[in-house]
C-alpha cells in the first residue's frame, strides 16, 4: 500500500518527463527504468550491451552507445532529458584488479565524458549510482556518509573518482546526488527482470544455484569472524528499493535539495549463514557449503547507516527483508531456467521444490 501511494505521488510530479538512464540494460539500471515508467516518467536507455541485455530494455528506446564515445553529447542534446541517472559502470571488484585500466577508462573517463555532455546540454539534475566500495576497510559495522572514503580496490577508487568529478562545479553545474549502494539483491521477476550477470559473483544467486543445480558447494569465506555466527555480515537491499530511492532522489533534487551522497541499504546486517538458511527455507533443498579462508581486506561486518536517506529523501526500504529478497531472487532463477529449457540450451535445469 505504501509503495502504491508513493507511485501515485510520483505520477503527479513526473508528467512524462524524459529521464536518460545509462546502463539501463543492466541489473540496477533496468529496474530503475521499470520504476521510472511505473511512476510516469519516460526513460531512455543508453547502454553498449557489453554487460547488459537488450531484452531488459522494455520501457523506452535504447541508444546502443558506449559512454566514452563523444556521440553521447549528441544523444543528450537530442532528448533534452530532465535528469540523467548514471548506472553504467564496470562493477566487479575482482575483475577491477585484473584490468584496472578498463575500469578507469569506463568508470572515470566515461563518467567525465557524460558529465561534460550534461553540462553543455544544461541537464538540471544528475543521479550517480555509486557504491559502498568508496569507503574501503572500516573499523565499525555501521557506515555513515561522514566515514572516510578510502577505497581498497580499483573499482571503489573509480567510483569515488566519479563522485569527485560530479561534485566539481567546473564540470557540472546542476544539482546532483551520489547513491552509495550496499549489497543489491532480489528481482522483479514478474516484469522479466533480475540478476543476469555473465560471471555471477553475488551471494544470493550463487546460493540459490548451489541449492538447485549440481554446481558444487558454495564457498563461504570464513566462519571465525567476530560476528554473531562467525560468518561475514552484510547489508542486503532489494533492487526495487534501490529503484524507489532513485525516484525519491529525483523529487529531492527537483525540490531544491542539497547536492550530496546518500547511503542506500536496508540498515540491517545479515550474515552469510543466514542467507544460506533463508535459501534452504525458500527452496526446500540443502545448500552444500565449503568453508575457505577469508579474502584479504574483507571486513567482518558492513552495514549502512541510512538515516540521512531516511531524513532527506523519505527513503523506506519496504522490500528489503531477507525472505522477500530470496523469494524474488528464487522466482527469477526459476523463470530463467524455464526460458533456457524452452530454448533448448544445454544446462543443468533447476528443480522445483
Residues tagged active-site: 155
The residue behind cell 568529478 is 165
Residue 137 contacts residue 150 (beta carbons within 8 Å): yes
Integer Cα distance of 261 and 240 in angstroms: 19
Integer Cα distance of 118 and 99 in angstroms: 28
Contacts with 139 (C-beta within 8 Å, 6 or more apart), sequence order: none
- DSSP secondary structure letters along 201-217: --HHHHHHHHHHSSS-P
DSSP SS3 for 153: coil
Integer Cα distance of 47 and 24 in angstroms: 6
Alpha-carbon dihedral of residues 166, 167, 172, 176, nearest 10 degrees?
A: 80
H-helix or E-strand spanning residue 248: helix 239-254
Nearest of 336, 317, 4, 7 to residue 184 by alpha carbon: 317
DSSP SS3 for 22: strand
The total of other beta-carbon atoms located within 10 Å of residue 144's CB is 13
State the first-to-last Cα distance of the chain, in angstroms, to the nearest integer.
30
Integer Cα distance of 253 and 247 in angstroms: 10
The total of other beta-carbon atoms located within 10 Å of residue 191's CB is 16
Amino acid at each position: 500500500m505504501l509503495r502504491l501511494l508513493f507511485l501515485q505521488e510520483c505520477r503527479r510530479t513526473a508528467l512524462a518527463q524524459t529521464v536518460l538512464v545509462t546502463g539501463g540494460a543492466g541489473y540496477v539500471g533496468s529496474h530503475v527504468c521499470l520504476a521510472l515508467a511505473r511512476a510516469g516518467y519516460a526513460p531512455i536507455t543508453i547502454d553498449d550491451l557489453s554487460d547488459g541485455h537488450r531484452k531488459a530494455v522494455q520501457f523506452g528506446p535504447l541508444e546502443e552507445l558506449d559512454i566514452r564515445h563523444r556521440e553521447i553529447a549528441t544523444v543528450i542534446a537530442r532528448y533534452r532529458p530532465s535528469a540523467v541517472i548514471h548506472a553504467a559502470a564496470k562493477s566487479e571488484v575482482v575483475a577491477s584488479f585484473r584490468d584496472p585500466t578498463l575500469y578507469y577508462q569506463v568508470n572515470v573517463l566515461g563518467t567525465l565524458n557524460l558529465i561534460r555532455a550534461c553540462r553543455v546540454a544544461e541537464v538540471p539534475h544528475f543521479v550517480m549510482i555509486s557504491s559502498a566500495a568508496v569507503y574501503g576497510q572500516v573499523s565499525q559495522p555501521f557506515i555513515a556518509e561522514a566515514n572516510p572514503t578510502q577505497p581498497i580496490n580499483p573499482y571503489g577508487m573509480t567510483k569515488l573518482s566519479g563522485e569527485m568529478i560530479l561534485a566539481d562545479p567546473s564540470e557540472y553545474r546542476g544539482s546532483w546526488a551520489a547513491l552509495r549502494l550496499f549489497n543489491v539483491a532480489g528481482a522483479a521477476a514478474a516484469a522479466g527482470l533480475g540478476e543476469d550477470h555473465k560471471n555471477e559473483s553475488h551471494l544470493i544467486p550463487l546460493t540459490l544455484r548451489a541449492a538447485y543445480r549440481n554446481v558444487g558447494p558454495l564457498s563461504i569465506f570464513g566462519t571465525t569472524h567476530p560476528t554473531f555466527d562467525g560468518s561475514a555480515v552484510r547489508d542486503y537491499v532489494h533492487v526495487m528499493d534501490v529503484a524507489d530511492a532513485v525516484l525519491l532522489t529525483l523529487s529531492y533534487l527537483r525540490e531544491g535539495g542539497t547536492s550530496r551522497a546518500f547511503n542506500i541499504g536496508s540498515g540491517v546486517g545479515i550474515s552469510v549463514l543466514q542467507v544460506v538458511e533463508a535459501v534452504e527455507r525458500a527452496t526446500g533443498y540443502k545448500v552444500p557449503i565449503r568453508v575457505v579462508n577469508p579474502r584479504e581486506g574483507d571486513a567482518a561486518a558492513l552495514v549502512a547507516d541510512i538515516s540521512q536517506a531516511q531524513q532527506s529523501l523519505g527513503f523506506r526500504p519496504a522490500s528489503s527483508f531477507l525472505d522477500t529478497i530470496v523469494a524474488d531472487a528464487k522466482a527469477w532463477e526459476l523463470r530463467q531456467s524455464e526460458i533456457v529449457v524452452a530454448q533448448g540450451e544445454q544446462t543443468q535445469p533447476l528443480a522445483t521444490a
